[in-house]
Amino acid sequence: MKVLVAVKRVIDYNVKVRVKPDNTGVDLANVKMAMNPFCEIAVEEAVRLKEKGVASEIVVVSIGPKAAQEQIRTALALGADRGIHIETDEEVQSLEAAKLLKAVVEKEEPKLVILGKQSIDSDNNQTGQMLAALTGMGQGTFASEVVVEGDKVNVTREVDGGLMTVALNLPAVVTTDLRLNEPRYASLPNIMKAKKKPLDAMSPADLGVEIAPRLSTLKVEAPASRQAGIKVADVAELVDKLKNEAKVI
């Protein structure tokens, strides 16, 4: 079974985000970039499926600037077999990303597509669901467990109030949540080997998709900051303040 994994290059999750002084966006100049954490979980899940003998080949795809090939190489070092880079310097929004991935799905015909549930930059939580709709596949979003059985996949999902399990016909789309697995680190020999794994580059035009953003960002601001209040000496003072000053109990 072939598994397709989509990964995104984003700001490293340890970097403190700073809004540009002119309010046009977030300052990404000279900032450390990395694979989106939810995408790392997607790669890890695919690799585990291969280790279990469920997946036979893992193809990893990324959309973005030339530098996104670093994240594809990372995925190859973690165990993916082959990379596809859809190169563009333009801002790609969720709907266009889903259309590009749909074109890749039609070419590669994977049985399972795994994506992160959201990227930590735009926080949209859309691309996997949109891809599923455009390709007519079922979806298991916010997955905490993925079990492939015959021509179906059972996905346990993290939902409000607990967990829910759905069975999906294959091919299907899965989006990962935090507790699906704990991603491994790439070993040095695997990082070296990954450099020799095949990586195809193509443009959105090669896939017949026009990048035409429907959303425009008018401004980006820093959130209103909250001021630290006071320290209370003991529990009695705390309860007194809550009752008589804040009047919330």
Partner 1 sequence: MSILVIAEHDNSSLKQATLNVVAAAKAIGGDIDVLVAGENVGAIAEAAAKAEGVNKVLVADNAAYGHFLAENLGELVAEVGKNYSHILTSAGTTGKDFMPRVAALLDVAQVSDIIRVESADTFVRPIYAGNAIATVKASDSIKVITVRPTGFDPVAAEGGSASVEQLDVVKDAGLSSFVGEEKAKSDRPDLASAGIVISGGRGMQNGDNFKMLEQVADLMGAAVGASRAAVDAGFVPNDMQVGQTGKIVAPQLYVAVGISGAIQHLAGMSDSKVIVAINKDEEAPIFQVADYGLVADLFEAVPQLEEELKKVL
Total residues in contact with partner 1, by rule CB under 8 A: 77
Residue range at the interface with partner 1 (CB under 8 A); choices 41-49, 79-87, 191-199, 208-216? 208-216
In whole angstroms, give the CA distance from residue 62 to residue 77: 15
Among 150, 162, 189, 208, the residue binding partner 1 under the rule CB under 8 A is 162
- Other Cβ atoms closer than 10 A to 119: 23
Compute CA 107 distance to the chain's CA centroid, rounded to the nearest angstrom.
22
Residue 124 binding partner 1, by CB under 8 A: yes
What are the beta bridge partners of residue 145? 156
Among 165, 192, 198, 200, the residue binding partner 1 under the rule CB under 8 A is 165
From residue 18 to residue 57, what is the string marking binding to partner 1 with x (rule CB under 8 A)?
-x------x-------------------------------
Radius of gyration from C-alpha coordinates of the chain: 21
Residue 121 binding partner 1, by CB under 8 A: yes
Among 1, 120, 191, 211, the residue binding partner 1 under the rule CB under 8 A is 120
In whole angstroms, give the CA distance from residue 67 to residue 52: 32
Residue 151 binding partner 1, by CB under 8 A: no
**∠76-130-148 over CA atoms, to 5°?**
55
Among 11, 46, 97, 148, the residue binding partner 1 under the rule CB under 8 A is 11
Among 142, 194, 204, 209, the residue binding partner 1 under the rule CB under 8 A is 142
Among 159, 192, 201, 205, the residue binding partner 1 under the rule CB under 8 A is 159
Residue 215 binding partner 1, by CB under 8 A: yes
What DSSP state is assigned to residue 227?
A: P
Long-range contacts, 147-155 (Cβ 8 Å, 24+): 148/1, 148/49, 148/54, 148/112, 153/112
Residue 167 tokens, joined: 């069975």
